[in-house]
Structure 1
Amino acid sequence: MPWLCIYGIIVVGFCCIKQNIYFFTMSLKNASILVIDDDQDVLTAVRLLLKTEAKEVVTEKNPENIRNILSKQSFDVILLDMNFNSSINTGNEGIYWLGKIKEFKSEAAVIMITAYGDIDLAVRSLKEGAADFVVKPWHNEKLLITIREALKRKGKAATTPSFRTDSVVGSELLGESEVMQDIFYKIEKIAPTDANILILGENGTGKDLIAKAIHQQSLRSDKVYVKVDVGALTESLFESELFGHKKGAFTDAREDRVGRFEAATGGTLFLDEIGNIGLHQQAKLLSVLQNRQVVKLGTNTPVDINIRLICATNMPLTELANESRFRKDLIYRINTVEIIVPPLRKRGNDIILLAKHFSRIYSNKYLKPVLEFDSKAMDKLLSYHYPGNIRELQYTIERAVIMADGNVLQAQDLIFSPIESSPAASQDEPDELKLSAVEKNTILRVIEKHNGNITKAAKELGLTRTALYRRLSKYDI
């Protein structure tokens, strides 16, 4: 039985980790858990793991019996496989049965069980209401922690407001525009998972704030957050900085050094400007991510790492996909989910929202009354193209607050930086490199995939039908 071989370590391994997860035992003691998988070996292994930890464990091979089971009994957690050999053949049976569970008004936290190749579907299941997902074959401790956290979030759901309602993530990540609300929704769904995230966007759009927001909303929020600008590391410093070194490993290695990967263990590692590293560095990074181990310079001993990885780059996705510049196998490894951050010029009235936010900050900093904007100043803010994005707006408002004589900022007080590129530079950007073109092409592909069915296309894109119709109108599709 292949699955029994894979999962046979669960029972033995559980004895080894029991002491480390004692705090978790109490949270499961009164939980009822339903496990749905058509592999009997999986059902047996999970039942053996959970039978002494949960109040009740019910297993079921046939998902078509879900309605009957839920009509007779309620559960706190449901473990649901993504693929079944059943009479329902949609290509993503897990999503289908997740929808049915929601239709049955079950309040259980649903955790999807997926193979590595189906991670995209598992991430999509989060948009459809799943609490989390685990990749098989899993580590027993990881499965137990995932269930514990699902129970914790389920218990807090009624009292803990979503940050998306406030349109604020972190201290300065603000936005009321539709495109930012979509990003906030995505953060809300992916943050509690350990999925690797790739953040794309121009310089100054707030990619670092989004990375911090993901960490703050993650299950690792009480652990360390480590940021590294890998694009600034020279070839000689890359391994030492990321993986560490032993004393004497090279001429200037006067003491042992812990690398950033090891320092971030248990927490989140944010690799900024990932698109700027060379192919040789990419190969070394890929090896570490595949093996989940680093080898310090000057040693042959691997060190296990346990990180949540977030990467960011200002390089357009089409350019990143060029194999002469970037390894595709590394892209797949770091890009379980991507977040495309729009330039400020595409965010409409968010510009005024951010300007007023910066005005409050700098009015307080420079001991002035909070300055308002007259109508011409707001028109000037909205008509500018912002090649430097939010960073440029921030510095523009700071200068205006410093120089202002009255309590109202006027158009002449807003002086944009001459060091940024000209409007022509932005207009000359090839269409295929614009984020809007990426979105339009994605919509066209998904609609074609579903033979023009707007409902199915909207569902796959994670949009409402109304939001999709707005985009169809916007791009004249």
Structure 2
Amino acid sequence: MAFRILVIDDETAIREAIRMTLEYEGYRIDEARSGQDGIDKATRTAAPYDAILLDIKMPVLDGIEVLENLKEQHVPSPVIMVSGHGDISTAVECTKRGAFDFLEKPLNRDKLLLSVRNAVRQQKLEEEVGELREREARDYQLVGESSSMKELKSQIELAAPTKATVLITGESGTGKELVAREIHRRSSRAAQPFIQVNCAAIPEELIESELFGHEKGSFTGAVRKQTGKFVAADGGTIFLDEIGDMSLRTQAKVLRVLQEGEVEPVGSATVIKVDVRVIAATNKELTEEIRAGRFREDLFYRLNVIPVRTPPLRERKDDIPLLAQHFATMFSAQYNRPAKKFTPAAQKALQDAAWRGNVRELRNMIERLVIMVPSDTIDITDLPSEFFRAAGDIIATAMRLATLQDFKDEAEKAFILAKLRENGWNVSKTAEAIDTPRSNLYKKIEQYNIKREGGGTMAASDRDEGEKQG
């Protein structure tokens, strides 16, 4: 399909010369003989022009006024300004107002073709980026209508328009990166970079170079100058994932960025000013890390301006059928497979599962099912054998134990542990859920030495909390 170019110029001879040159190269040309005519054509076309050539000196509406009007109406086409009285100041002024390029009359054929070719390429790249962003928004949208998801979406809506730092907490696999991207996508920085850094995946000796950049020769292996992630994110958002794994030394430097808005590359005495919104995430309890001396309290308060918690899947079981169908539809399209549906039995089995890996684990399983199940319907019999491993584990445990009482104790311990996880380690809720007095549940927790994930015995920590509340 030929690329479409709009030529706006009040001189017929100029329009004709440009049209003949570009049509010879395979472009489709529309002409406008005045500024207003050009605005009308550019804003009323069904699909945006791939480029616009705009003369500056025209009666009534000059080219600068037309350019401003097109930008105000969000016409996406790149605009090449043309002038017979051009100078550097005019070119700079056009560029500041959003022009893609500036050409002087009389037009040089090669320069004209090069400028139009570059403008068309730029337009196509921007369209592709837009399509990728739309696809990303569809594929990685926050799915769910449970009360915990409604609360999360409300928090995102409040956080997105601000410049404040955000601290996202939650278990692994609950979608912390997705939340960070959604906050960025809804913010005024959406068109600017979103830079992700996994603090746990980068060796300690390289993390500062990765974040702040380095000068050539600043350390062994630094064979060239490198720009850091904070500078790369200038104007946009940096997402510091697993910040709880960051060393105290690096934490101090991140604190400086938040306080001063500047970075100092490794091996450099020069500071670089940056305008970056920081979103951090962790699956650790940072208040406990502070008490243990592993995390800076001042950095915590700088990051925790807007706290956001991603709920585990066990707190939003009603969302599991929606999530499963969302992933099934997404992966069916991705792998060019027939759209998959779940039987009620399969949905119930998915809802009843523990999902210790949360949404990530569910997503991976659905991807596998879409690939492996040939029919359009996924039934409970299609679920992989390891999905039912919990029941098999109980039988295997029974074979290793000496007495019936030993088996009963082991099963009871596993049951209580599963229910505590399911109820967010809240003893009162768990006792109510399993229909037993809270005092009896405390005894069982102590009897089996059940400990809350993250340290400390459940009985002691939860009782203390209850006494404080009482």
TM (normalized to structure 2)? 0.54
Per-residue CA deviations over 1:213-251 (Å, capped at 9, x if unaligned) read 000011111111100001122221011111111111112
The reply on whether 1:266 has 2:259 as its aligned counterpart is: no
Task: Describe how 1:246-257 pairs up with structure 2 within 5 A.
Answer: 246-257=215-226
Distance 1:433 1:177 in 2: 16
CA contact (8 A) 2:164 2:305 kept: yes
- Residue in 2 that maps onto 1:275: 244
- Residue in 2 that maps onto 1:229: 198
Distance 1:266 1:207 in 2: 22
* Equivalent position to 2:141, from 163, 168, 172: 172
Structure label with greater radius of gyration: 2
CA contact (8 A) 2:286 2:295 kept: no
CA shift for structure 1 position 420: 11
CA contact (8 A) 1:372 1:407 kept: yes
- Residue in 2 that maps onto 1:354: 323
Distance 2:285 2:323 in 1: 25
CA contact (8 A) 2:328 2:339 kept: yes
* Equivalent position to 2:377, from 408, 415, 433: 408
SS of structure 1 residue aligned to 2:154 = helix
What RMSD in Å do the two structures reach over aligned CA positions? Answer: 3.4
CA shift for structure 1 position 403: 2.3
Distance 1:205 1:236 in 2: 29
- Residue in 2 that maps onto 1:186: 155
CA contact (8 A) 2:168 2:309 kept: yes
CA shift for structure 1 position 405: 3.3
- Residue in 2 that maps onto 1:325: 294
Gap change, CA 1:433 and 1:300, over 3 Å in 2: farther
Per-residue CA deviations over 1:150-208 (Å, capped at 9, x if unaligned) read xxxxxxxxxxxxxxxxxx88733211111111111111111000010001111111110
Distance 1:426 1:329 in 2: 41
Task: Describe how 1:19-30 pairs up with structure 2 within 5 A.
Answer: none
SS of structure 2 residue aligned to 1:391 = helix
The reply on whether 1:366 has 2:323 as its aligned counterpart is: no
Task: Specify the code of the residue in structure 2 equivalent to 1:330.
Answer: L
Task: Specify the code of the residue in structure 2 equivalent to 1:201.
Answer: G
CA shift for structure 1 position 368: 2.7
Distance 1:384 1:212 in 2: 28
Gap change, CA 1:364 and 1:312, over 3 Å in 2: same
- Residue in 2 that maps onto 1:137: none
CA contact (8 A) 1:342 1:435 kept: no
The reply on whether 1:338 has 2:277 as its aligned counterpart is: no
TM (normalized to structure 1)? 0.53
Task: Specify the code of the residue in structure 2 equivalent to 1:392.
Answer: E
CA contact (8 A) 1:169 1:213 kept: no
Distance 2:385 2:288 in 1: 30
- Residue in 1 that maps onto 2:213: 244
Percent of pairs with identical residues: 42
CA contact (8 A) 2:315 2:422 kept: no
Distance 1:203 1:183 in 2: 16
CA contact (8 A) 1:293 1:302 kept: yes
- Residue in 2 that maps onto 1:379: 348
CA contact (8 A) 1:396 1:416 kept: no
CA contact (8 A) 1:270 1:311 kept: yes
Distance 2:265 2:234 in 1: 15
Distance 2:388 2:169 in 1: 23
- Residue in 2 that maps onto 1:117: none
CA shift for structure 1 position 383: 0.3
CA shift for structure 1 position 364: 2.3
Per-residue CA deviations over 1:121-152 (Å, capped at 9, x if unaligned) read xxxxxxxxxxxxxxxxxxxxxxxxxxxxxxxx
CA shift for structure 1 position 348: 2.0
Distance 1:261 1:182 in 2: 30
SS of structure 1 residue aligned to 2:291 = coil
CA contact (8 A) 1:358 1:398 kept: yes
SS of structure 1 residue aligned to 2:222 = coil
Per-residue CA deviations over 1:296-323 (Å, capped at 9, x if unaligned) read 1111111111100000011135534434
CA contact (8 A) 1:200 1:317 kept: no
Distance 2:154 2:252 in 1: 33
Distance 1:432 1:351 in 2: 17
* Farther-moved stretch of structure 1 (224-233 vs 283-292): 283-292
Distance 2:383 2:205 in 1: 44
Gap change, CA 1:322 and 1:414, over 3 Å in 2: farther
Moved segments of 4+, more than 4 Å: 416-438
Distance 2:388 2:205 in 1: 32
CA shift for structure 1 position 397: 1.2
Distance 1:367 1:293 in 2: 47
CA shift for structure 1 position 325: 2.2
- Residue in 2 that maps onto 1:292: 261
Gap change, CA 1:420 and 1:171, over 3 Å in 2: farther
Task: Specify the code of the residue in structure 2 equivalent to 1:353.
Answer: L
CA contact (8 A) 2:139 2:330 kept: no
CA shift for structure 1 position 369: 2.0
Task: Specify the code of the residue in structure 2 equivalent to 1:195.
Answer: A
CA contact (8 A) 1:249 1:297 kept: yes
Distance 2:163 2:139 in 1: 19
Task: Specify the code of the residue in structure 2 equivalent to 1:312.
Answer: A
CA shift for structure 1 position 288: 2.6
Per-residue CA deviations over 1:46-101 (Å, capped at 9, x if unaligned) read xxxxxxxxxxxxxxxxxxxxxxxxxxxxxxxxxxxxxxxxxxxxxxxxxxxxxxxx
Distance 1:267 1:170 in 2: 22
Segments of 5+ residues of structure 1 without an aligned counterpart are 1-22, 28-167, 441-476
The reply on whether 1:399 has 2:375 as its aligned counterpart is: no
CA shift for structure 1 position 342: 0.6
Gap change, CA 1:385 and 1:416, over 3 Å in 2: farther
Per-residue CA deviations over 1:373-429 (Å, capped at 9, x if unaligned) read 111111101100101111111111122222223221111212275799999889649
